[in-house]
Amino acid sequence: MAKHPIYGLMAEFDNTHDLVAAAHRVREEGYRQIDAYTPFPVEGLEETVGFRLPLLPIITFIGGLTGCIGGFILQYWPNVIGYPLDIGGKPYDSWPSFIPITFELTILGAALFCVFGMFFLCGLPMPYHPVFNVPRFKLASHDRFFLCIKSKDPKFSLDETKRFLEGLNAREVSIVPV
Amino acid sequence: MNSDQSFMLEQTGNAQRKALGVGVVCLALCVIELVIHPTQFLRSYLFGEVFWLGIGLSCMGILMLHHLVSGRWGFVLRRPLEAAAKTLCWMAIFFIPIIVGMHHLYIWSRPADVAADPVIQQKTFYLNTPFFIARQIVYWVLWILLAYFLNRWSTRQDGGSDPESQRRLRNLSGPGLVIYGFTVTFAGFDWVMSLEPHFFSTIYGMMFTVTEAVGGMAFITIVAYLLSQQEPMSEVIQPSQFHDFGNLLLVFTLLWAYLSFSQYLIIWSGNLQNEIPWYVSRTNRQWAWVALALVIFHFAVPFLLLLQRFITFRKQYLVGVASLLFIMSIFDLFWLMAPAYNPKGPQFHWSDWVALVGLGGIFVAIFVSQLKTKPLVPLHDPTFAGVLQHE
Amino acid sequence: MDPVDPVTEEKPAFVEPGSPWIAPGHSYGSVSDRIAGVVLGRTRKGWIFGFAIAFFLFLVLNYGITMLFFVGVGKFGINIPVAWAFAITNFVWWIGIGHAGTLISAFLLLMRQKWRTSINRFAEAMTIFAVACAGMFPLIHMGRPWLFYWLFPYPDTMGVWPQFRSPLVWDVFAVSTYFTVSLLFWYVGLVPDLATLRDKAKNKLAKVAYGFFSMGWRGSVKHWRRHEVASLLLAGIATPLVVSVHTVVSFDFTIAIVPGWHSTIFPPYFVAGAIYSGFAMVIMLAIPLRKWFHLEDFITIRHLNNMGKLLLATGMIVTYSYVMEAFMAFYSADKFESYMMLNRMTGPYAIVFWTLIACNIAIPMTFLWSYRIRTNTVALFLIAGVAQVGMWLERFVIIVTSLHRDFVPSSWGQFYPTPTDWEVLFGSLGLFFCLFYLFARLLPSISIFEMRDLVHKTAEEAGVIAGAAE
């Protein structure tokens, strides 16, 4: 970090087309430590920032499975092993009556894992992040599109990268302080 | 734009004639059973007829649903669905033996049995022969009218002479679905539920309709697969559409499981003497294996498979799942009907399967002949042009 | 450097005339400003007035509940044989209202229906507030509400567990899961919008509050991708959940063997009824909301038309269920079943039954077929209101008429509501609208980022801008 007291360089675009085209150019040029910030999900950017297979469905599935098995045991154990009681002549193992709760807990497990897994993978909550130091970054949640090349990229060099970004139809290129 | 001619079904590989041949031969074989054991013949015949009618009826329901919500999935399915609905006009003729032989099938239509059963005596306001026949006539008139107009206005649209067709089809489909829901429900009570006249369940009609819909959607998926094997449909039906068919199959399968489980849990918990015998025979002894097979192969396996995108986007895999569901929906209907006669366990009468195949042959022959009458896609539907371009 | 691409003269997206789900002339910025402006602008007099009325009703609720806790459940008009009445009617009614919200946000997302974009946020909020109102009732109608935690499975010193075969315990799980999942789903959708508000807020407190809850959302590609996947997964999870919740509610009745309760069609019938009343509530909220906050550009007449159609479809399923119930009551050849139905139609509560038929079937199912009625805001609002009343009466009829005359004539009885019953019913409306007023004031009632996305997609389809992906 001492070598680069800045986080990276941020280019601003006013439409998705320029952003996507620029992102592809940046990728072709050999930069790998890049990220794009948009006011809504934009298609065609994932591969440029090196996004891998989403883990989320697997995490959700594990959550659902945990809820499902846990939910059934939660009912089976007390009714059959822990404290069996004859109620209304129903069998101890009344599996049809155990299905609703098993189902609800499957859903609950899947949803909790899904949401908290998503926040965890996104690294949220994150109270401080260098990109917020760019004054115009406010517009990333309004109507502007930003592309950032991070200083830790081996190809990063302040002047050259800046010149390169400026040539990509960017409205403005600014330095992101750490 | 492609011309109408290029979308006509031509290479059917004699499917129509072969199906007709199989149908006639099998039904002729069934005549043997009719002579030896008329009751068994009628039971087998009812099973086959109800199954294939279910395919035609549910296709008509899906067709009207498509007219109402007009999803992209429906455009390539529309002509097969119309053809399947049109089979109803002919299958009506094959319903006559059931009316003629209803005394062999239904206990409540035999005065001697009714006299011995005080419960059925209280149901005679609904379960009596004249009213039964009158109801059948009403159902058939309504179904044939629906099938006729759904086809006719669609044909007019092809001629391009009637710009109003689309609006008309939509306006017919709303009330049409209401009529469909009520008639199929009561037909389910009449044909199947009243085989055990003591049993009653308010969810039964909905369950019966969805049971049919699983079979119908599986059938139409298989048809779409076969059509997509050759020109010109191979260019029109895209993997994304098979994905949509897969989702519809998933929805119907889930709905089937939901309704069936709801009924089971409620009757199991209530454990009342007029309801529970229905499940006692169906979930005990040998029938329990059929029930278990239904849970696994009519729900669990297709459910897990249809969630996988690598299956729903590949037609050769999807058609496998659809075939499984199609076969299981036959067993589902068998499980609904046959325990009424054989509460101790399934007995496999050869005529059950021969009648099913025989009526199936007739059904397929009519279906193919109807499919040949129009281009395979509704080219003149104003919204269809957009669908083709999007691909 | 060579030019990046031949199409360099890209315009920012805007909406051209003729697009179906949003008014023309809008751009990313204009939708953001318009929706966020409602939240960040000044408090309007109308809002204060409305909130005051809702808050008054909320105080009525507090009064009713305080008296109830102080004196006991005898403050309600319930007694044997009618031990369930208004409280459970309100519970089922409120939770049913919640269902439409989840369905709009989850099921319509799975169906890729674009028209959900502008209504899903407030419909989800409606869900959460309705479930909050609903969850209150089973607790307050207990004899000893302070022991409510006995319903949860925790290892207590005597080793006793809740009765897992009882649908009332299923309810605890279903409703708490439903509330949790709805809240999570809603919050996940809100995070990007909270970030927008954080960036737009001038007020220091608002900046900190929105900043805190947006958790540092930056809208990076990875954030969006995971957000999208999570939304789809949650939608896939929430759709069966919403069906299961009202199914479990229907099990509260069907698992018993009381005639009029033990009916197998209840699960799908309750789900359809829930969606029916829920859509009625969405319509009743959408029409004033678009008018007062000038959101006609986003909640268009076509939205109202579609919601009217959904009202019609679910109403038809409810009608079908009534027919099945009535038919089977007589077909069953069970004297208790047929007497129950006869008693509903001609007994002491016949007037309630026939009002319900008028409100739920006769009026809506006649008029909603007409396009002109569905697109007339006043007519649609009134019909939705009528259906809403009808759905409350439906639950009342199911609960009270089934209980008041069951098997043994010597234990027949009658139910008369007390002032506390009414206080709690109207008070719960106060709680709901208080929460809803606060929501409309503090959070964006329409999903801003999804509207920007809709502007983008609409412009893309109209050819105003080229497709993003090459």
Encode chain B in three state secondary structure.
CCCCHHHCCCCCCCHHHHHHHHHHHHHHHHHHHHHHCHHHHHHHHHHHHHHHHHHHHHHHHHHHHHHHHCCCHHHHHHHHHHHHHHHHHHHCHHHHHHHHCHHHHCHHHCHHHHHCCHHHHCCCCCCCHHHHHHHHHHHHHHHHHHHHHHHHHHHHHHHCCCCCHHHHHHHHHHHHHHHHHHHHHHHHHHHCHHHCCCCCCCCHHHHHHHHHHHHHHHHHHHHHHHHCCCCCHHHHCCHHHHHHHHHHHHHHHHHHHHHHHHHHHHHHHHCCCCCHHHHHHHCCCCHHHHHHHHHHHHHHHHHHHHCCHHHHCCHHHHHHHHHHHHHHHHHHHHHHHHHHCCCCCCCCCHHHHHHHHHHHHHHHHHHHHHHCCCCCCCCCCCCHHHHHHHC
CB contact under 8 A, A128 and C216: yes
In this prediction, residue C16 carries a pLDDT of 65
Q: How far is CA C450 from CA A45, C31, C108, C214, C323, in A?
A: 18, 10, 14, 16, 41
Q: Judge whether C150 is closer than 8 Å to chain B, CB to CB.
A: no
A102 and A135 assigned to the same domain? no
What is the band of C181 on the pLDDT scale with cuts at 50, 70, 90? very high
Instruction: State the pLDDT at residue A125.
Output: 86
pLDDT at A46 over 80: no
Nearest-neighbour CA in chain B from A96: distance (Å) = 6
C7 falls in which pLDDT band (50, 70, 90)? Answer: very low
Predicted confidence (pLDDT) per residue in C243-282, tens digit: 999 999 999 999 988 999 999 999 999 999 999 999 999 9
Note the pLDDT of residue C218. 86
Residues of A in contact with B264 (CB under 8 A): 96
Cα separation, B333 vs B390, whole angstroms: 40
| pLDDT band of C19, cuts 50, 70, 90 | low
**Each residue's pLDDT tens digit, A114-129:** 999 999 988 888 888 8
Judge whether A152 and A24 are in contact, CB under 8 Å. no
**DSSP calls for C373-410:** HHT-HHHHHHHHHHHHHHHHHHHHIIIIIHHHS-S-GG
Say if A121 is an interface residue toward chain C (CB within 8 Å): yes
pLDDT at position B237, please? Answer: 79
Radius of gyration of chain C (CA): 24
B213-to-A45, B208, C348 alpha-carbon distances in Å = 41, 9, 42
Instruction: Please tell me the predicted confidence (pLDDT) of residue C445.
Output: 85
Weakly modelled stretches of chain B, pLDDT under 70: 1-6, 10-13, 159-162, 380-391
Whole-number pLDDT of residue C465 = 66
- Tally of CB atoms within 10 A around B121: 13
- Residue A27 scores a pLDDT above 50: yes
If we measure between CA atoms, which residue out of C433, C397, C450, C327 comes closest to residue C49?
Answer: C433
* Structural domain harbouring C150: 28-469
Q: Higher confidence at residue C389 or residue A159?
A: C389
Interface contact B258, partner A, CB < 8 A:
no
Q: Taking the alpha carbons of B72, C280, C305, B180 in that order, is the dihedral positive or negative?
A: positive
Domain termination site, one of A101, A122, A143: A122
Residue C291 has pLDDT above 90, yes or no: no
Cis peptide bond upstream of C81, omega within 30: yes
Q: Which of A84, A105, A122 is the last residue of a domain?
A: A122
In a domain, A63, yes or no: yes
Which residues of chain B neighbour C267 with C-beta distances below 8 Å? 203, 258-259, 262, 266
Does residue A1 lie in a domain region? Answer: no
Of residues A75, A122, A131, nearest to C226 (C-beta): A122
How many domains are there within chain A?
A: 2
Q: What is the pLDDT of residue A1?
A: 43
Under an 8 A CB cutoff, do C331 and B265 touch?
no
The CATH number that applies at residue C124 is 1.20.1630.10
Using CB atoms, pick whichever of B125, B178, B202 lies closest to residue C325.
B202
Structure token digits, residue B28: 């002729």
Q: Which residues in chain B are closer than 8 Å to C255, comparing Cβ atoms?
A: 265-266, 269-270
**Rounded average pLDDT over C430-455:** 89
Q: Per the domain annotation, does C9 fall within a domain?
A: no
- Domain boundary assignment for chain B: 19-110+126-377
**According to the model, what pLDDT value does residue C418 have?**
93
- How many interchain CB pairs under 8 A, B with C? 77
Q: Which residues of C touch A59 (CB under 8 A)?
A: none
What is the mean pLDDT of the segment spanning A146-158?
81
Nearest to B88 by CA among B31, B146, B42, B127: B146
Q: For residues B332 and A9, give the distance between their C-alpha atoms in angstroms, rounded to a whole number.
A: 64
- Note down the domain range covering A117: 56-122
Cβ <8 Å between C264 and B122: no
Spell out which residues of chain C touch residue A51, defining contact as CB-CB under 8 Å: 221-222, 225
Rounded to the nearest integer, the mean pLDDT of chain B is 87
| Amino acid B13: pLDDT | 66
Query: Rounded CA gap, C431 and C419, in Å?
Result: 18
Q: Which chains share 3+ C-beta pairs under 8 angstroms with A?
A: B, C
Q: What is the mean pLDDT of chain C?
A: 87
Residues A74, A109, single domain; the answer is yes
- DSSP one-letter string for C90-107: HHHHHHHHHHHHHIIIII
Number of domains in chain C: 1
Q: Is the pLDDT of residue A44 over 80?
A: no
Q: What is the pLDDT of residue B4?
A: 59
A58 touches chain B (CB under 8 A): no
CA dihedral B209, B211, B213, B214 (to 10 degrees): 170
**pLDDT confidence band for C425 (50 / 70 / 90):** very high
Chain centroid, CA B92 distance in Å: 14
Nearest CA in chain C to B171: C369
pLDDT at A5 over 50: yes
ipTM higher than threshold 0.90: yes
User: Higher model confidence: residue B385 or residue C371?
Assistant: C371
Domain endpoint, select from A122, A150, A167: A122
Residue C469 pLDDT exceeds 50: no
CB C234 within 8 A of CB C191: no
Q: Write down the mean pLDDT value for chain A.
A: 84
pLDDT at C333 over 70: yes
Let me know: does B197 contact B108? Beta carbons within 8 Å.
yes
Contact B203, B259 (CB under 8 A): yes
Residues A97 and A113 in one domain: yes
Q: How far is C363 from chain A (nearest CA, A)?
A: 36
For residue A147, what pLDDT is reported?
A: 85
Higher pLDDT, C437 or A175: C437
Is B268 touching A (CB cutoff 8 A)? yes
Confidence of residue A53 (pLDDT cuts 50, 70, 90): low
Would you call B264 an interface residue with chain A, using a CB distance cutoff of 8 Å? yes
| Shared-domain flag, residues A111 and A133 | no
pLDDT exceeds cutoff 70 at C387: yes
Inter-chain contact C226–A127, Cβ cutoff 8 Å?
A: no
Cα–Cα distance for residue pair B379/C300, rounded to 1 Å: 32
Residue A118 domain flag = yes
Residues A112, A62: one domain? yes
| Closest residue in chain C to residue B178, using alpha carbons only | C316
Within a domain: residue C15?
A: no
Q: How many Cβ atoms sit within 10 Å of the Cβ of residue A92?
A: 14
Which residues in chain B are closer than 8 Å to A97, comparing Cβ atoms?
265, 269
Q: How many CB atoms lie within 10 A of CB B24?
A: 14
Q: Under a CB-based contact definition with an 8 Å cutoff, are residues B204 and B63 in contact?
A: no
Please indicate if any CB of chain B lies within 8 Å of the CB of C371. no
C159 Rama class: left (phi>0) / alpha (psi -120 to 50) / beta? left
The enclosing domain of A164 has a CATH number of 3.30.70
Identify the pLDDT of residue C30: 81
Of the partner residues B120, B126, B266, the one whose CB lies closest to the CB of residue C262: B266
Residues in Cβ contact with C91 at an 8 Å cutoff, skipping those fewer than 6 apart: C134, C137, C138, C249
Question: Mean pLDDT over residues C135-163, rounded?
Answer: 87
pLDDT for C130? 94
